[in-house]
Amino acid sequence: MSTVLITGAGTGIGNLTARALARAGHRVYASMRDTTTDHAEELRKLATDERIDLRPIVLDVQSEESIQQAIDAILGESGVLDVVVQNAGHLATGYVEAFTAEDIARLFDINVLGAQRVNRAVLPHFRARRSGTLLYVGSTSVLDVPPFLGPYVASKAAFDVMAQATRYEVAPLGIESVIVMPGPFTRGTNHFPNASRASDSAVTQGYAELEPFVARNLQATNSLFPEGVDPDPVAVADEIARVLALPYGTRPFRTVVDFTRFSVDDINELSTSHIRRAMHHMGYEQLLTVAHN
């Protein structure tokens, strides 16, 4: 089994994934900014009660020092790190104009630069081993771009593109990449309850006539699901566990966990076909295949 680091594992999908992977037999480092919280204590108790290897660890994706300390601690304890699950992220809602540049910079700092900081800390270890898995928790929102989430979706799109570009450069070195794309989940996480708002209230007031649309956002999102379907985010954790159970080098680059009426897989298939054709014409096909070293 693998030694796994999960970012943003205090709550939500990251927390569920930490539990699922530890129960599957992996050694899991569940990272969060503060390990003195009830969330961390719950994971410690679970590890003791179920005799699984689940270890809360401090890691703040906005701090290079914090990230490096966490990576050093993991390597010091385990001697190896096999998988990084890039899950940490923050949601912000509001009208695009009402987000200040500082609002958007903070969002990108967490959702995009946070992942880049973690990659820069872990990739030297992966490159030295010629092995390792970067698994990114993305979003189907980059395809359908829902309203009132503009800067958040922009950050997830940047996160996705960075993951794709990094894949080309690390695959020839034996390092694989996976993007798991969850669809919308309206319960079971703190994503929406903990979301921040655009900070310019004066501009927000200028969009008052759109407030009825905002007020029915939850209802509108739930209307995307077929009747009788109640999406549970544990499905994302289960999919991550399934993917990591596959033989190394055979894991899909993209996989979708979506309970809506729409076929995101069809869009991904078309995009993948386009990328393969483009890479073929450029003579870069080998950058799409994980090297076996």
Based on the residue annotation, tell me whether 248 is a catalytic residue of this protein: no
* Whole-angstrom distance, CA of residue 208 vs CA of residue 66: 41
In this structure, what is the dihedral angle of CA atoms 269, 272, 276, 279, given to the nearest 10 degrees? 160
Task: Tell me the backbone φ, ψ of residue 122, rounded to 5 degrees.
Answer: -95, -30
Given the structure tokens 């698994």, which residue do they identify? 135
Are the C-beta atoms of residues 130 and 174 closer than 8 Å to each other?
yes
Pairing outcome for strands 54-58 and 83-86: unpaired
Cα Rg, the chain, nearest whole Å: 19
Are the C-beta atoms of residues 61 and 117 closer than 8 Å to each other?
yes
Q: Nearest-CA neighbor of 87 among 192, 4, 169, 196?
A: 4
What token pair was written down for 11?
């709550």
What token pair was written down for 163?
């993951």
* Catalytic residue (choose from 95, 152, 207, 284): 152
The residues annotated as belonging to the active site are 152
